[in-house]
Amino acid sequence: MNMILALVLLPALAGIISFFMRKAYAARALMISTAFAHLSLVVWCWHTRPAPFYQGWFALDSLGLLFLSVASFLFFFSTIYRVGSGNAGALVKKRDFEGSSTFIDFSESVYCGCMMLFLSTMTLVCVSLQFGMIWVGVEATTLASAPLIYYHMHKRSLEAAWKYLLICSVGIVIALLGNFFLAVAVSEGGLHSSLVLSSLMNRASLGHINIFWLKGAFLLFIVGYGTKMGLAPMHTWLPDAHSESPSAVSALLSGALLNCSFLGIIRAQQLLNAAGAGQLGRDLLIIFGIFSMAIAAIFILGQNDYKRMLAYSSVEHMGILAVGVGIGGIAVYGSMLHAVNHSLAKAALFFTAGNILTFYRSKSSLEVRGVLRFLPVSGVVWVAGFFAITGSPPFGTFFSEFSILKGMVDQDRIFIAVAYLALLAVVFVGMVGPFFKMAYGNMDQLPAERVNREPILSFIPPVVMMLAVLILGLCIPDALTSLILEAAGELGGLR
């Protein structure tokens, strides 16, 4: 059986089976073993790249493998975190600490089923090299993850899930129109053409493509997939969805899903490059990127909800990725490396935020004090995470953000460089207060005392993620460097 097919079908089948499981522990065991099997298959793909499948519709190029590895790695640790985070899945009424009502969580089998379908659909996006299939995959990720956002089944999570569903579905339908525009663009000469990336790129480099319709298609892709990726001004669903979903899901949304949507835009940029019209795409990416960073910076300043703050930080980092690809050259390398760094750091922070939320029962950074004292491990990860997410040395994010800056300076794009640095500085200033007040500070009255404050499995995933970002800052493994270089090459950066 083809490896690519296995990567997509394994979690899909396991997810469907999970819906029919009665026992919570069985569903959870199935989820962990599926996650482990998926991760092993992905590691195997690093060793032997699987052969393309179905006339090149499905293949794993370096870009796809890079994003798939991040998604699979995060998914595996999110399942471990899930087991670590206490009484999850017990069908009991809980008190809603923000509203006055009570709520019941989903049953564990539905949760695990949706999670595995979510993994399967993200994998589909990463391994598809045909524009229609990429679209089908991205839309399917929305549908698989919307129930996860509604996990707690109370009013706020319902509102978040509804906004997510409606805004992202509308956005993605616009990307569908982009696919049709693309089909019109390649129909010049009266030939039908399958929308497989490699054959399209061949046609484009020979000039057998209509540039007007291709540019139109790109515009629709960047608006459509950009909605899902969280580029401003289409990001409005993102803070709500990230703050209301359970932390393991927030980590995946932020670290894996946003990247996958970016992949949709990247594929279109590859085609635009081949057609010799890459400049339009790059300019648009820079505009959307800087605008996203600016919007995120504004909303991070004075943000009192720490999960929303992390969500806006994702908008900022998606902006950084877009700017990096838009600049080109070494910045593309920086951008791909930054995608990895951001995913790891953001997942660590969301996991830790989940631990803090369970202990303090408050999402307000004004009400949480002394994390380092009461939750020592989470506190350390929280402080380290602050430095990592704001791009301070020695974390990997520093080097990736620096590579993007170097790309700007190399091309003498000083205005963009100044705006980029200024916005990074604003975000740093906006985040430093809440993070440190939460980590240090004193609290007279603690919420109900817990027997076990920090179950070991709840802090292993964030610690692993944080160490990974740190290692990426100290020395990047050769295999990863060459993969990222190849990926950047596919995207037209660095020779």
Question: Helix (H, G, I), strand (E, B), or coil: what is residue 275?
Answer: coil
280 counts as binding other proteins under rule CB under 8 A: no
Count of other CB atoms within 10 angstroms of residue 406: 17
Least distance CB 246 / other proteins (angstroms): 16
Inter-CA distances, 20 with 17, 30, 40, 101, Å = 6, 12, 26, 30
Residues 6+ apart with CB under 8 A from 357: 247, 307, 363
Binding other proteins (rule: CB under 8 A), the pick from 90, 153, 414, 418 is: 153
# residues near other proteins by CB under 8 A: 53
The answer to whether the CB of 126 falls within 8 A of the CB of 156 is no
Task: Please name the helix (run of DSSP H) or strand (run of DSSP E) that holds residue 103, with its range, or none.
Answer: strand 102-103
Count of other CB atoms within 10 angstroms of residue 483: 19
Q: Give, as ranges, the residues between 193 and 252 that touch other proteins (CB under 8 A).
A: 194-195, 210, 212-213, 239-240, 243-244
Closer to other proteins by Cβ: residue 362 or 392: 362
135 counts as binding other proteins under rule CB under 8 A: yes
Inter-helix orientation angle 478-490/62-84, to 10°: 130
Residues 6+ apart with CB under 8 A from 120: 8, 9, 10, 11, 12, 15, 144
Binding other proteins (rule: CB under 8 A), the pick from 160, 265, 344, 417 is: 160
Binding other proteins (rule: CB under 8 A), the pick from 45, 126, 133, 337 is: 133
155 counts as binding other proteins under rule CB under 8 A: yes
Tokens of 350: 């969301």
Binding other proteins (rule: CB under 8 A), the pick from 21, 63, 70, 146 is: 146
183 counts as binding other proteins under rule CB under 8 A: yes
Binding other proteins (rule: CB under 8 A), the pick from 118, 288, 299, 420 is: 299
471 counts as binding other proteins under rule CB under 8 A: no
Binding other proteins (rule: CB under 8 A), the pick from 180, 291, 436, 440 is: 180
Angle among Cα 165, 339, 473 to the nearest 5 degrees reads: 145
Binding other proteins (rule: CB under 8 A), the pick from 143, 419, 457, 467 is: 143
Closer to other proteins by Cβ: residue 190 or 495: 190
184 counts as binding other proteins under rule CB under 8 A: yes
Peptide bond into 434 cis (omega under 30): no
Angle among Cα 475, 251, 2 to the nearest 5 degrees reads: 75
192 counts as binding other proteins under rule CB under 8 A: yes
Question: Helix (H, G, I), strand (E, B), or coil: what is residue 216?
Answer: helix
Rounded Cα distance, 231 and 220, in Å: 13
Least distance CB 103 / other proteins (angstroms): 10
Residue type, 84: G
Binding marks (x or -) toward other proteins, 54..83, rule CB under 8 A?
A: ---x--------------------------
Binding other proteins (rule: CB under 8 A), the pick from 18, 62, 123, 179 is: 179
Q: Which residues of this protein are in contact with other proteins, per CB under 8 A?
A: 57, 130-133, 135-136, 139-140, 142-143, 146-147, 150, 153-156, 158-163, 165-166, 169-170, 173, 176-177, 179-180, 183-185, 187-190, 192, 194-195, 210, 212-213, 239-240, 243-244, 299, 303, 308
